[in-house]
Chain A
Amino acid sequence: MPRSNWLLTILLLLAVAGTLTAGPRPISPQSALAPRPIRGKIVDETNGQPIAGATITIKGTSSAVTSDANGEFTIQADSKDILVVTYVGYETTERAAKKVMEFFALHPSAHNLNEVVVVGYGTQKKTSLTAAVSTINPAVLAEKPVVDLTNGLAGRASGLIAQQSSGEPGFDMSAIYIRGIGSTGNTNPLLIVDGVPRNFSRLDPATIETVTVLKDAAAVAPYGVAGANGVILVTTKKGKTGRPSFSYDGYAGIQNPTRLPQFVNSYQYALLRNEGATNDGTPIPYTAYDLQKFKDHTDPDGHSDGHPLNDIILNNRLITYHNASLSGGSDDFKYYAAIAYTNHQGMWSTDYIKKYNGILNLTANPTKTTTVGFSVNGYIEDQHYPSQQTSGAILDLAERQPPTVPTWYSNGLWSAWQGYSLIGIIYHSGYIENENTSLLTQLSIEQKLPVKGLAIKGVVSYDNGPDPLFANTSQYSRTWETPIPFYNVDTTTHPYTYNAGTEGVGKPALIETWSQNKAMTYQGLLTYAASFGNNDISALAVVEDRVVNYQAFTATRYNYNLNIDELNYGGPLATDETNSGYSSGEKQLGYVYRASYAYDKKYLFEASGRYDGSYLFAPGHRFGFFPAFSGGWRLSQEKFMRQITWIDNLKLRGSWGQSGGYPSTSGAIQTYQYLSPYNVVSSSAVLGGSGTQGIQEALQGNPAITWEKSNKTDVGFEAGLWKGLLSIEADYFYEKRSNMLVSIGNALPAEYGISTGLTNGGIMSNHGIDLTLTSAGNITKDLRYDVKGTFTFARNKLLKVYENSATYNNPNRRQTGRPLNTQFGLKATGYYSAADFNPDGSLKSGEPVPSFGPVQPGDLKYADLSGPNNKPDGVIDANDITVVGKPSVPEIMFGLEPRLYFKQFDLDLLFQGAASSSLYVNNYFVWPFGSSGSATVLAFNDHWTPTHTNALYPRISGTPPSNNTQESNWWMRNTAYVRLKSLQLGYSLPGRLLHGSLKAMRIYIAGQNLLTWTPKYKENIDPENGSKNENYYQQRVLSFGLSTTF
């Protein structure tokens, strides 16, 4: 049966149901009495503190006001009206309107029996939840100078480990691991926005209503084959009943790198070079005259002192954000609309992104039993950066370029080194402009059916934007490459002459790329909820069908004679133009269920799961079943617990289930592994004087390929103690992932000649704990606090990975039984000294002989741990490799979020840290002159010499000796860190200063990555950056913001 038919059926069903139940609309009761001003004050029930910004609505009308900074409000109402007070984090409270309502006490919703949590395909009451989920208060995402949403999550939720390795505008998203790394394949969580798989990272933070992290089997089971890595659910803000409320939020900030490595100046460089040449026995490159000139700077172009990194990175780069939103509505029709503009500058002025977000969420109740939702959520990003090199390559070049080459000559012309010009690339190479677009649209119709508690809902969404699973995006991109001019000084003439050269293309070229990623998602949902005495029952059934189509094409023209960046004006020859194109797709169909039963609101049971099919598998092997079961016991509801007054809430819960993971390796989902295809190669050998096409075997397929299977177990408890003074939520989890794709390449000879389809053979386990502690209370009458602490620990273990016998049989090298990506290397014990050598320079007998080339004093000495027969053999080689470091993704992540409120002031901090991870530092960052590069000041100051043998780094050589650059513990760094990740200090104008339509105003300063402590290593590298420190530097941001409500 074709899909369109059943879709039609569901829509028909909805329509029929709608006409059956839609009666004439009742007329809203009109008050016959004249309204009068009612005054009141909103306070927190637990501590009596005023609550500013609460919304006070007259029930059944759109009339609403907001409480001022003292919690006070005035509203026109009559005595028959019911006032409804709503405020985030508190229970919604209703009360009849009286003339003076001195204390309108709100109950914090931490204890709220009605608090609901967004879960897969619905919501559940927090109290009846039997699954492990974390929520993030969306308020912590807004107002922070953080553009990419993924960068606001670290430390905010237990069970979430995040790592941000780049700070480049538009490319700075964090990698997120829910409960650590559970697979050798893809570890990305499934991302869901408003119920549909979508990437959320570039949405406007201010428009986010909820963020929920689904962690255990019970929570992720509804996502079937896609759920094993956890799920992050994001919902966007909807309109709220009340008068139109218009808000403006904005900030402006400045950015600087968190850590900028320091490279040597030219004098130091020349000294190091000479030292290296002396050690190598080759001619000394720099004379005393050169050294003097480098030192005294009297010959700035012939003997330069350049600082390429400092020269290209501009200070105080701007980041600005403006958001305007409108919200309001009645019971029948609610709206929320917001637009935002973000300008995020990079470290040089040709690198920036401008983002325009817009959202419109409408909810209407055309009948008493029908709810129609319509939403449009989109953005356009204009991204700009230099055409020729990625930012990583620019930083690599700037770090490598010796200081003896200036960035600019004294006359303002810019230089080049090894044919590459930093200034030329950054400012004179043309541009890349990407227009990244996303449009998420959704129409939903929910109809309550004549049976009480039964409802049916249909959702259709059409998205055009970044794919949540693959790197496919909707993008229009223009690359304009121009010849890159630069200058070289000719010091053979007096005065010096400066000669122009070019790198890059000989004539300009234009590359236009267009791609579109379209997803259609159809959902039909049937929900049922009812209570019979002490029995509460709910049920959910969902059919979800998803079709994704991706298309891309590229058109290129070369040899522009004129500087006009339009395709039409490229070179005239047929060989001046090329084009290419590509398309792909995805299909998925799933049937979801969830059924829960609660007895006496104490004993909770739930079963959920999904029968799921995906195009990734061979016909006949496409569908799998992923069930989960969970239960909870609310001890605090038991009679025997009632006497214990300091326990407000206590729940034990547990879950077990199976979920699936897409078959993947190295983070990439593998498609068509079930085929043994021959691929067409578009450009092959030149025969008969012209190019040809080719065909090659792509892969030896595996028709039996299937999903990763994850068995997840979770036990946890939730406790609320001393009326909010302490809340605890703790979970222990254990996961066993099997069917992970492994290459059997290691089990085949290297002479096999082709890669084989991957096999579902890998097994690993992952276990750990999540912990969330919260506390809130008053320190003095005016000083209120709340604090949230999160802690996550996750450690995995490879159980079966098909490693080769050479590593498996050597206990030091065995990967099985150890965490994934455990770092292996040689064990360096120190440096060779002169005493280790015979007079002829050979190693004394008894010293193990390294097999990486000749050594001399000051080179690294390694432990002879093993040999071909698992015994030390006097030779240092691959047999001596052992564990030297932990994986680079931290096993521990924690956050501490204290908040203080004092009168009009509020202070919000996030200390975030990670531990149990290692970084392999290498190349020129720690090996002077590696990759023909420069050297760091640290290396200049702290390397081995005969008189400084207790040094951080080995002796200097013109070329880092192969012996010293072997991966070893010498180059492993413990990247444990603590950061003052976020700070916000706000001041709200007191009510007496607000008048007219201005309802609230707040000013604040905020900061991101303000301080970083890395006690375990000396290198000047951000703990989240890569080993050569050439990832775009993380930024420290300081911003000033304003938020107003009208």
Chain B
Amino acid sequence: MINKYLVILLAVTISFTDCKKDNFLNVPPKGSLTDQITFSSENNADLFVNDIYEQLPDMNNEFEALDQWTDNSDVGANWEDGLYVRSNSMNPSSVSSGPANMFSWTGNYTNIRKCNVFLQEAAANEKNFSAAWYTQRVGEVHFLRAYFYSLLYQCYGGVPLISVPLDNQTQGDSIFVARSSLDSTLAFIEADCDSAAAVLPLTAAQSGRATKGAALTLKGAVELFAASPLCNPTDDLSKWAKAAATNLAVMNLNVYSLFPDFASQFLAANNWNSEQIFCRGYALPNQGHSREGRLGPVIVHGAEQAWGNLQPTQNLVDDYLMSNGKPITDPTSGYDPQHPYLNREQRFYQSIVYDSSEWQGDIWESRIGGNNQIDLGSTSDISNTGYNARKTLDESINGANSLTLSPNTSNYTIYRYAEVLLSYAEAQNEAVGPDASVYAAVNAVKARSALPAVAAGLSQDSMRTVLRRERRVEFAFEDKRWNDIRRWDITTKGPAVLTNPMLGMLIQPGPGGSLTYTEVNVFNNSFSEYMNWMPIPEAAMEQNSKLVQNAGY
């Protein structure tokens, strides 16, 4: 009797083990695709490219603006990276990955791998695509790869150049790549930009995609960096000339022009305007941004509304010219330190929220006793300097709504035409001196903001001063200054912008409604010259023994 049962049970058992495959245990993952499917059609492969574009820094959803790392802005809260950078604290064990992960060593290499995978797989599956699609997308991905390398290059200097997807199973020790020199890294980026520029159209079929102009602008920006004192201590003029030529090439495309209104070029209504060369786009319902909530003025109409993370310093405010085009340091400028906000250039009013200025119909007051009283102890989000940023923010958006609804769809401008003009002017001034083309470029930018032309007959040095001030003011809060102060090597030298204190404006009411303006030291910056190059993260150093750390760390 028992045998019978045992036999049946055994039969049941054997019938299982008999199954040659254990496929009855399959639980297929539905959201996963194979590489064959991904690169089987233009439609599918486009999704892979979309993901690379998605990795562009999402700076409109970032509260730690890069200007906090510079003398343009203080930080909203004392734990933010900007304060860490300006406290002489950068070291290999704790390297900030930068706003929006922009400077992340591993993050950028992850993005570079995406580009490399696309280039490799698209080539292997070329038969699945039309020639036009293939050429266009390969061009875009070359541009994107150059962009991610440019972020690394401008942070760390020469970096390992990896142009194929690494595979530890087939490539052995060659997956460990040493750093290339500054020049080779630059050449790699230039080559990718050239490949892109050669095939990309002048105007994008779809907004947000890279164009010929974008590729040349990127190339020109990196070449300007490479020609500047940090990378070019011997002042090799040919480097400046190359940068000038590339920026001139963008100008000669005749695609771009300055948008007539400086302030409104950053609003969603003017997305993809004639000045914007390359931008990260935003769209509703769920890919909008919350720039106003993160960066806008804190107390509005008596209620806390936004995080106030762009806190312009007095140092920046002092660099805005008078409306007559003269710097406030010029005794003939008409500047009155006890009426500091009178008769300043248009961009000041378009860029800065200051005491007694209006924001959303409310009068914003940073004076002692005011509704946004300067926060000397940094105990709240309210500005520590007595100023808040205005430029790039859409005043029609309430900060609280911004934070929760991310309703804004304005572009984050990565490159715009004014930069090309000022980069050209700078490079040309260094390469050959202040010729007419230099004047033309800088005056075009100034004229848009109703400023008089630069005085004729300036020396190369004087022109340099004009251009650097112009660049700071024109691009304030556009995350350009961190690269500028390092490439000019002025963090600890010359104006030593990161070893001098950050200033704010203390405004004390007196009898009869009078106000006394006193510049106060709100933070003692501290920085070492070697930190112009960020340290390669300790973990990366430890994982790849071929890497050599930047000097000083």
Which A residues are closer than 8 A to B by beta carbons? 1-3, 6, 9-10, 13, 17, 273, 276-277, 280-286, 402, 404-405, 416-419, 449-451, 454, 456, 486-488, 490-492, 497-506, 524, 526, 541, 543, 575-576, 578, 582-589, 591, 613-615, 619-620, 622-623, 671-672, 675-681, 683-698, 700, 744-754, 756, 804-807, 851-854, 877-878, 929-932, 958-959, 961-963
Contacts of A6 on B, CB cut-off 8 Å?
A: 12, 15-16
Q: How far is the CB of B508 from chain A (nearest CB, A)?
A: 12
Could you tell me if A282 and B523 are in contact, using CB atoms closer than 8 angstroms? yes
Q: How many A-B residue pairs have CB under 8 A?
A: 345
Measured in the bound complex, the distance between the Cα atoms of B19 and A3 in whole Å is: 12
Query: Chain A nearest CB: distance from B396 CB in Å?
Result: 14
- How far, in whole Å, are A283 and B303 apart by their CA atoms in the complex? 26
CB-nearest residue of chain A relative to B169?
Answer: A700
A575-B284, A589-B16, A750-B109 known; A959+B91 contact, CB < 8 A: no
Q: Say whether A613 contacts B542, CB under 8 Å.
A: no
Expressed in whole angstroms, the minimum distance between the Cβ of B363 and any Cβ of chain A is 10
Q: Which residues from chain A contact B466 at a C-beta distance below 8 Å?
A: none
Q: How far is the CA of A684 from the CA of B286 in the complex (A)?
A: 10
**Given A501-B303, A932-B77, A506–B54 Cβ distance below 8 Å?**
no
- Give 8 closest A-B pairs by Cβ, nearest first: A501-B303, A499-B302, A753-B113, A285-B377, A677-B32, A694-B51, A685-B53, A750-B540
A806 in contact with B541 given A589-B16, A691-B287, A931-B79 (CB within 8 Å): yes
A583: nearest residue on chain B (CB-CB)?
B30
Are A526 and B9 in contact, with the CB atoms below 8 A? Answer: yes
Q: Is the CB of B93 within 8 A of A877?
A: yes
Residue numbers in A under 8 Å from B19 (CB-CB): 1
Is B538's beta carbon under 8 Å from chain A?
yes
Instruction: List A contacts of B44 (CB < 8 A).
Output: 695
Partner of A694, one of B50, B93, B523: B50
> Measured between alpha carbons, how far is A13 from B6 in the docked complex, in Å?
11
Find the A residue at minimum CB distance from B284: A575
Instruction: List residues of chain A with CB within 8 A of the CB of B522.
Output: 282-283
Tell me the smallest distance from the CB of B525 to a CB of chain A, in Å: 11
> B420 within 8 Å of A by Cβ?
no
Q: Could you jot down 7 A-B contacts, CB within 8 Å? A: A417-B380, A419-B298, A543-B12, A746-B543, A754-B110, A804-B539, A853-B526
**Distance from A215 Cβ to chain B, minimum over Cβ atoms (Å):** 29
Q: A691-B283, A753-B165 known; 4 other A-B pairs, CB under 8 Å?
A: A490-B302, A498-B302, A676-B34, A853-B526
A503–B540 CB distance below 8 A: no
A672→B29 contact, CB < 8 A: yes
Cβ distance B491 to chain A, nearest Cβ, rounded Å? 15
CB contact between B376 and one of A283, A589, A931 (< 8 Å): that residue: A283
Contact check, B27 vs A587: say whether CB atoms are below 8 A apart: yes
B436 CB within 8 Å of chain A: no
Instruction: Indicate if the CB atoms of B401 and A752 lie closer than 8 Å.
Output: no
Tell whether A750 pairs with B543 under 8 Å between CB atoms, given A283-B520, A506-B400, A684-B51: yes
A491 touches B542 (CB 8 A): no
Name which of B128-136, B203-211, B443-451, B473-481 contacts chain A. Answer: B203-211
Of the four ranges (under 10, 10 to 19, 20 to 34, 35 or more), the interface on chain B belongs to: 35 or more
Q: A286-B377, A958-B78 are in contact. Are A578 and B286 (CB under 8 A)?
A: yes
Query: In the complex, which residues of chain A have a beta carbon less than 8 angstroms from the beta carbon of B25?
Result: 587-589, 613-615, 619, 622
- Asked whether any CB of chain A lies closer than 8 Å to the CB of B440, the reply is no
Q: Which residue of A lies closest to B111 (CB)?
A: A753
Q: Is the CB of B13 within 8 A of A591?
A: yes
Contact B30 A929 (CB under 8 A): no
| Distance between Cα atoms of A623 and B13 in the complex (Å) | 14
**Contacting residues of chain B (116-139) with chain A, CB-CB under 8 angstroms:** 116-117
The chain A residue sitting closest to B14, CB to CB, is A1
CB distance from B470 to the nearest CB of A (A): 31
Interface members, chain B 15-32 (any A CB < 8 Å)? 15-16, 18-19, 21-27, 29-32
Min Cβ gap B413→A in Å is 14
The main secondary structure of chain A at its interface with chain B is mixed
Interface: B334 (CB within 8 A): no
Q: Which residue of B lies closest to A959 (CB)?
A: B78
The 8 A CB mask of B33-77 against A (1 = contact, 0 = none) is 111011000001011101111101000000000000000000001
Using A488-B302, A696-B51, A807-B542 as known contacts, say yes or no to A751 and B109 having CB atoms under 8 A apart. Answer: yes
Interface check B83, CB cutoff 8 A: yes
| CB atoms of A623 and B22 under 8 A apart | yes
Shortest Cβ distance from A852 into B: residue = B89
Residues of B within 8 A of A500 (CB): 303
* Stretch among B242-250, B304-312, B324-332, B345-353 lining the A interface: B304-312
Q: Is B460 an interface residue (CB 8 A)?
A: no
> Which B residues are CB-close (under 8 A) to A694?
47-48, 50-51, 54
* Pairwise interchain contact B400-A804, C-beta atoms closer than 8 A: no
> Which among B256-264, B365-373, B425-433, B482-490 touches the partner chain?
B365-373
User: Contact at B32–A750, with CB atoms within 8 Å?
Assistant: no
Q: Judge if B403 is at the interface, Cβ distance under 8 Å.
A: yes
How many Å lie between the Cα of A450 and that of B1 in the bound state? 8
Given contacts A492-B371, A749-B543, contact A687 B50 (CB under 8 A): yes
B282 beta carbon closer than 8 Å to chain A: yes
A749 x B53 contact (CB < 8 A): no
Q: Contact: A692 with B9, CB < 8 Å?
A: no
CB-CB under 8 A from A589, the residues of chain B are 16, 24-25
B78 touches A752 (CB 8 A): no
Instruction: Let me know if B112 is at the binding interface, CB within 8 A.
Output: yes
Q: Is B230 an interface residue, CB under 8 A from the partner?
A: no
User: Is A750's CB under 8 angstroms from B405's CB?
Assistant: no
Evaluate contact between A744 and B371: CB separation under 8 angstroms: no
The contact of B113 among A285, A451, A754, by CB within 8 Å, is A754
Chain A, Cβ-Cβ closest to B522:
A282
Given contacts A6-B12, A684-B47, A878-B538, contact A690 B283 (CB under 8 A): yes
Q: Does B254 contact A (CB under 8 A)?
A: no
- Once bound together, how far apart are the Cα atoms of A620 and B370, in whole Å? 73
